[in-house]
Every structure is written in C-alpha cells, then in structure tokens.
Amino acid sequence: MFERQQKLIKIADKVKNLRENNSQALLYFLKLAHSDVEWLLPEGTPPHKAEKGAHGLTPSNLMREMRTMYLYLRGGNDGLAPRRREVLFQQLLERIHPTEAAMIVAAKDGKFVNAYRVPKKIVDAAFPGLLERPVSIKFLR
C-alpha cells in the first residue's frame, strides 16, 4: 500500500489510497510515524538477515507485529535492557518482509513521512483529527 502511495502524484489519489486501506494498524502506524514519540533504539538499520519470502509468505507481517511496537518506545517497557530491546527489534525485522522492515526503520528514524510521501496534510485529509489525538504507546485493536 505504501509502495503505491510513493508513486501517486495527486493529493486526492493519496487520500483515497489511505482510506481504502484503513485499519487500526494503519492508523497506529501513521500516528507513530507523525508523532514525537521517543524510540529507544539507535538510529539506522541494525544488522539482520532479511527475510527472502514473497509478500504473504513471510513468517509474519507488519500488521501482526504492531502489537509489539510498544517495546521499542519510551513509556512502553522502560525496564527492558537496551541490548535485549535491540535483539527483539532485529528479530522483528527478520520475521517481516524487507519492504515492511524498511518502513519501520524509516518511521523509527523520522524519515517515513518524506520517504513514503505521507505528509500531515494528507493524513489529516484522509483521517481528520487522527494526529491531534495523543498517541497511545500500546496498540489497541
């Protein structure tokens, strides 16, 4: 869905694409990507073995893994040792498709909005008021 978003030119088409793919996981991910939550991970892509399966054949997917995102954010599980958090993040990246892994890393590093062409005005047009609400660290289904 975000690969298609990158290729769209018109604002109306971008808004339509987001609305057509509306889900709790998408809304949560957009809030994380646009908020100032603090990720407790070093910048950049950690070394990991990229999953080589085709979409749909990987052991997991980003929508399923959204429930674990709180582990990597300040206020989610601050008692987790930094090294353990980094290992869990590497394992997450190994379970999902490389394009999804790149999206998570881009969101963590604050580069998602520009890289995937999803600025605040597009999100506001698609989901009015979404970004004004406070971010819940834990993913609520």
Range of the domain at 46: 2-132
- Residue 31 pLDDT level (bands cut at 50, 70, 90): very high
pLDDT tens profile 48-106: 777 666 555 567 788 888 999 999 999 988 899 999 999 999 999 988 888 889 999 99
Res 39 pLDDT > 90? yes
Residue 120 in any domain: the answer is yes
pLDDT tens profile 94-140: 888 888 899 999 999 999 999 988 999 999 999 999 999 888 887 76
Domains in the chain: how many in total?
Answer: 1
Res 141 pLDDT > 80? no
- Report pTM: 0.85
CA angle 97, 21, 137 (to 5 degrees): 70
User: Residue 92 corresponds to which tokens in the numbers above?
Assistant: 């997450």
Res 12 pLDDT > 80? yes
Residue 77 in any domain: the answer is yes
Residue 140 in any domain: the answer is no
Residue 139 in any domain: the answer is no
Residue 138 in any domain: the answer is no
Q: Are 118 and 33 in contact (CB under 8 A)?
A: yes
